[in-house]
Amino acid sequence: MDYVPEGQLKAMQAYGGDAKQQQMLESTYKTAMQASAQAMSPFTAATGEKAEKILAQMKTGKVLIYRTLGMNQAASSTGEYALDQSLSKALTECAIK
């Protein structure tokens, strides 16, 4: 996803400042926009070792308990999803060991 519209960054250049100040301003703006978008997203993703640890726990577990925070939604909620043979089947079909 593109969290930072290019038009907004170009508009910020009109405020002046030297190249170093512009770079700091753009970097700060991009970081703030990305952090805001991530905080408001109902999704979380993991890769690498963290993802492997999560999958290992899921493979030995019986239930996945999840929580959705209501930051950009009406309310928070908690739910459960049974971890059964369908998980193993799906991982195999996706070539995930």
What residue spans define the domains of the chain? 6-40, 48-93
Q: pLDDT tens-digit profile of 38-96?
A: 777 777 788 999 999 999 999 999 999 987 766 655 667 788 999 999 999 999 999 98
Residue whose token pair is 């043979």: 85
**Long-range contact set of residues 34-41: C-beta below 8 Å, sequence gap at least 24:** 34/3, 34/4, 36/3, 37/1, 37/3, 39/71, 40/71, 40/72
pLDDT at res. 80: 93
pTM exceeding 0.75? no
Beta strands in the chain (DSSP E): 63-68, 77-82
Which residues are 80's β-sheet partners?
Answer: 65
Cβ 61 vs Cβ 83: under 8 Å: yes
